[in-house]
Amino acid sequence: MQVNNQKIVVLGTGGTIAGESASETESLNYQAAQRSIADLLKPISGQTMQGPASIQPFAIEAVQVAQIDSKDMDFEVWRRLAVCCSDHLSRDEVKAVVITHGTDTLEETAYFLSQVIHIDKPIVLTCAMRPANFKDADGPQNLRDALNFAAQARGRGVWLVAAGEIHHSQYVQKVHPTRLNAFDSGEWGAAASVHEDQIKWLKSFEKNKPQSGSNGILKAIDLPEVAQWPWVEIVTHHVQSNGRALSLLVKAGVHGVVVAGTGNGSLSASLKDALLSAQSHGVQVCVASRCNQGPVLPTENHVFKTAGELNAVKTRVALILDLMSKQKKSEADLFESGSPFSI
Ligand code: ASP
């Protein structure tokens, strides 16, 4: 019997959207991750607020994957979340996955999932800037918009829905610590807007649509135990960048370094020397920009790999996954050629 997508699975991970403050007028001092995902869904699936028409055909299934402030997001939760997304999206009856997440590290999680989930269905993240009990909480509307988008979006892609905008995981970043529309996709712009349940794709995005690509090798199921994930740090280039911090990292055994260079990835002579030395010790180096918009365009002056359009934190995710897939490949090659320890 063929079952067609009848469900949207909502995964809760915590964040301000699930947060509570001491009073309904306090939006800065609060505790993130207090309400369960089932509680957050009540106003949408219950009596008080009817969900958008697009979600009526779908049953909503809620799963609490974690309950944390996203500043504490870690590889353990990422691994669990990726496997959970993959398992649910693999079910024929599931149309899409929606994830509630804190805003602070959302762009890293979104990009990570875009690289390890290879299933032709959408993943839609949403969040809030005000705790759930604030008098004008933004969470319920964001969650409603996210479900609406998940019910209509097609194909593979990881998205953020917040403050009436829909952003692609490749470009989106948090750009403001407190305002309601805290996310932006820089010069690439939002992909679509949502107003009174109407989703409108933006022409500028149609032109800049990213490939729904990934490192292509690793899948959620291939992610190793967290203890085996490579150690990759970000080093920022600034006035008097002398490479001392980098040498300490190399000494401590770092596997990869992303440099948030100035402008188009420029680096002082001494940091460049320190990076070359790190590279000669087997450390992988990639250069992004500390500017908050625009890609790093490779020039003759770049001696290291450049990050392209990814910001530094997403470049770090890409480098972690790249190192992991190289590790996996060399293990597979070793297996094929026979273990050096076999008789
Ligand atoms: N610190 C919170 C978090 O990232 C901020 C938020 O959700 O807006 O979980």
Q: Residue 339: its pLDDT value, please?
A: 46
pLDDT (tens digit per residue) in 304-341: 999 999 999 999 999 999 999 998 888 777 666 654 44
> Which residue in this structure is represented by tokens 């001494």?
270
Q: Residue 46: its pLDDT value, please?
A: 58
Say if residues 102 and 68 touch (Cβ distance below 8 Å).
yes
- Cα gap 158→116, rounded to integer Å: 11
- Of all protein residues, whose CA lies closest to atom 7 belonging to ligand 1? 102
Sheet strand arrangement including 284-289: 232-236, 256-261, 284-289, 305-306
Cβ(129) to ligand 1 under 6 A?
yes
Cβ(70) to ligand 1 under 6 A?
yes
Share the mean pLDDT of the chain.
92
342 or 103: which carries more pLDDT confidence?
103
pTM of the predicted structure, to 2 decimals: 0.94
Domains and CATH numbers, the chain: 7-208 (3.40.50.1170), 230-337 (3.40.50.40)
Place 216 in a pLDDT band, splitting at 50, 70 and 90.
low
> Which residue in this structure is represented by tokens 């440099």?
259
Best of 31, 35, 103 for a ligand 1 pocket test (most atoms within 8 Å of beta carbon): 103
Cβ(102) to ligand 1 under 6 A?
yes
Which region among 63-67, 200-204, 242-246 has the lowest average model confidence (pLDDT)?
200-204
Instruction: Give the Å distance between the CA of 25 and the centre of ligand 1.
Output: 18
The amino acid present at 120, given as its one-letter code, is D
pLDDT (tens digit per residue) in 97-134: 999 999 999 999 999 999 999 999 999 999 999 999 99
Instruction: Give the Å distance between the CA of 339 and the centre of ligand 1.
Output: 47
pLDDT (tens digit per residue) in 192-203: 999 999 999 998
pLDDT (tens digit per residue) in 217-230: 789 999 999 999 99
Whether the pLDDT of residue 275 is over 60: the answer is: yes
pLDDT (tens digit per residue) in 113-123: 999 999 999 99
> Taking phi first (over 0 means left), then psi (-120 to 50 degrees means alpha), and beta for anything else, what does residue 246 get?
alpha
